Structures are given as structure tokens and as C-alpha cells.
Amino acid sequence: MIIILTQCFPSRVGGIETLISNLALNLSKKYKVIVFADRHNLLLDSKYDKSVKDNFIVRRSSGLKFFRRRKKIKELKPFIFSKEIECVIGDSWKSFELCIDLLNNNKIPTICLAHGNELLQKNPQKIKKIKEIFNKCNSIVTNSNYTLKIVKEYGINKPILKRIYPAATNLDNINQSINIAIQGNPIILTLARLEKRKGHINIINSIEKLKDQFKDIKYIIAGTGSELTYLKSEVAKKRLENNIIFLGNINESEKKYIFSIADLMVMPTLDESEVRSIEGFGIVYIESAFFGIPSIATNVGGTSEAVLNNVTGIVLNKISELDTVLQDLLTNKKKLFELGQKAKKRALEEFQWNTIIEEYISLISSIKIK
């Protein structure tokens, strides 16, 4: 039995949520899997849990964070004492905060995932806590070499440190109904939470400059977040309502649809490490690559591992380069196509779950506790 402890899980939308749900699904092909997750939305969570019930079990905790976390541990205890658990995987150090000692005392192997953002701490007490939990876990898995470097900077000396790149979702067999139809030429896409660091406003500013040259240009913004009101006001102010489409949260079929029509994925993330916000990898770059879509990223965090500069897309050194690079790619269809084909080839060869999951299975099997 594999237990997954997570605060980031569908029905919420995001890169970590996608990673954890796919990790559970693929591990369930070999193990019995139980996911202890937070409840975000009763209706949407229930719908998701029902859709995966034949693969793995989801147990939800609701309420205030203080009570929610303690409820998880209370429900976890019978499984710990059953001696049936082969490994407990936590989506971050936070998921082990209240239970790592209990798991260690019962000699249960533990794997802690590290994504980047959650490690950018300034509080000495929090840094001490992270280091303590990391050193008590049997293994730490990072999503990039960039994140691995951050973990090493914590002075971690005990656990197995391993970099396993996230695999992307295979959307080939997704056939839910969709309620969107978009026409444009070219079509640019950003699929991400609406946060300042994702760089949406920079793309909106570029669209304003490009719309006279590309009369039918469309920019699709999929996702929701704290920047929504601001971004919509900027679009209205610039009179770009005919060029920019806000889709909000989308299902997997809608994601498949927008990937199938897009020419370019653009997410020029900003370096906001000073305010504890950075891109540890960027799985959406890989998801779009499966559809032969190249990406524009910025050389921030681990994004240059997800997008290979001048191979699977363009990695900007400065955000000020965005206008020029966008114009170049959108006018050079041959280059756009070649980058997209190389992106697809790399995605198919390196980022499929049927190969990535073997790294997790091998790691689980290698952890021996005396």
C-alpha cells in the first residue's frame, strides 16, 4: 500500500495538483493507493473522487487548516499500525510536519517531494523546520536540477536525493464534452494560475503592439487566480477584448482542445524569489510539447530544463526580449514548426508517465529501513 499526503490535489487546478493526481493514478497500477487530501470544493471534489474510485481511494479533510491537518493524521494512524504501508509520499515538507516522527518510529519509508517555491524561506525557524523534516525523510525527490540545488543548500545530509522530472498528462483518450470554440491566426496560449510571476501582463502588452500586424491574433488565458480582475481591466483599457480570451478553469477535454489549436505556448515567468515565488520546472511547457507546440519561457528557476533554448522553444534572458521573439516566431512559420516538432519528440521520449513512474517504483523498492 502507498499513502500519499497532499494539500494540492484536484479539483484544484495547478501543476502540483496535476503531478500528484497522475502519480497516484500510475502508482495504482502496481500498488493499492490511498490519497489523504484537503477538501476544496464539495461538488467538484466529489465529482473528481468518483472519476478515480476504480483506481485509488481519496480521503478528504475539510475545515480550518489546524483541524484539517490533525484530522488527516488521526485517519492515517490505523493504516500505520496495520503494517501494510510500503511507503508514504508527501507532496511537500508541510505534509510531514505532524507525522514524520510517527512514521519513523514505525519504520515506514517516506518520500518527500520538493518543487521549489516552498523552499524559498527567510524565516530562520521555518528553515530549521524544513531541514529537520528533510533529514528525517528517507528520500527527497525534486522536480528539477534547480530545485535539487536549493535542497542541497539546506545542508541535507541523510536522505536519498533524486531528481525526477514530472511527466505530462496524456490527453489522447480524453473525450469529455467542451463548450468552447475559438478561431484566430495565430493563437497564443498561457495555461497557468493568474499570478504576477506567470507574466500574463507582459504578454498582454505584447499583444497590444502586435495586433496591427496580426489582425486575427488571439491570446487564450486559461486559469484563475488573484490577478484576474487586474488583467481583465488592462485588457479593457487597451481595447483588446477581441484579441484576448479568458477561459477560467478548464477540464481536460478543453485543455486538449486549446492545445490542438494553439500555435505557441507563452509563459515568461518572473524571478520573484525575493518574495518566495519562482517556477521550479513548469510542467505546462511539456504538456504543450506533446501537441507539437513550442514554448517561450524565461531563464528563471528550472524553466530552462523544461524548455531547451532554440531546440524546443525560446528561453528569454530578459523579459524585454518578449516582443521581438514573439514577432520573430509568429512571422517565421518554418522555425515555429521545427521547434514544435523537436518539442514533441523530446516530450514523447523523456516525459511519459509509463517511463517516469518506473523511477518512483525503483526508488520505493530501494528504501530499506533496519
Domains of the chain: 2-167+352-366 (3.40.50.2000), 187-350 (3.40.50.2000)
pLDDT, residue 63, reads 85
At 281, the amino acid letter reads F
Helices (H) and strands (E) in the chain, counts: 14, 13
- What is the tens place of the pLDDT at every residue in 344-364? 999 999 999 999 999 999 999
pLDDT, residue 174, reads 63
Q: Is the pLDDT of residue 178 over 50?
A: yes
* Alpha helix ranges (H) inside 137-266: 145-153, 200-210, 228-237, 252-261
Q: Is the pLDDT of residue 273 over 60?
A: no
% of residues, the chain, pLDDT over 90 = 76
Q: Is the pLDDT of residue 199 over 80?
A: yes
Of 329, 199, 197, nearest to 262 by C-alpha is 329
Of 115, 23, 22, 131, nearest to 364 by C-alpha is 23
Question: Would strands 139-142 and 160-163 be described as parallel, antiparallel, or unpaired?
Answer: parallel
Q: Is the pLDDT of residue 278 over 80?
A: no
pLDDT, residue 251, reads 81
Against a cut of 0.85, is the pTM above it? yes
Q: 181 or 361, which is more confident?
A: 361
Q: Is 56 left (phi over 0), alpha (psi -120 to 50) or beta?
A: beta
Q: What angle do CA 97, 101, 103 make, to 5 degrees?
A: 100
pLDDT, residue 168, reads 86
Question: Mean of the pLDDT values across residues 273-291?
Answer: 81
**Residues with Cβ < 8 Å from 104, sequence gap 6 or more?**
110, 136
Question: For residue 5, what pLDDT band results from cuts at 50, 70 and 90?
Answer: very high
Q: Is the pLDDT of residue 365 over 80?
A: yes
Q: Is the pLDDT of residue 272 over 70?
A: no
Q: What is the distance between the alpha carbons of residues 362 and 370, in angstroms, rounded to a whole number? A: 19
Query: Which residues are paired to 185 by β-bridges?
Result: 216
Of 253, 291, 249, 247, nearest to 10 by C-alpha is 249
Question: Mean of the pLDDT values across residues 132-140?
Answer: 95
- What is the tens place of the pLDDT at every residue in 13-72? 788 998 999 999 999 999 999 999 999 889 999 999 999 999 999 999 988 888 888 899
Question: For residue 368, what pLDDT band results from cuts at 50, 70 and 90?
Answer: confident
Q: Are 180 and 248 in contact (CB under 8 A)?
A: no
Q: Which three cell numbers stand for residue 13?
A: 487546478
Q: 97 or 12, which is more confident?
A: 97
**Residue 40: helix, strand or coil by DSSP?**
coil
DSSP structure class, residue 214: S
% of residues, the chain, pLDDT over 70 = 96
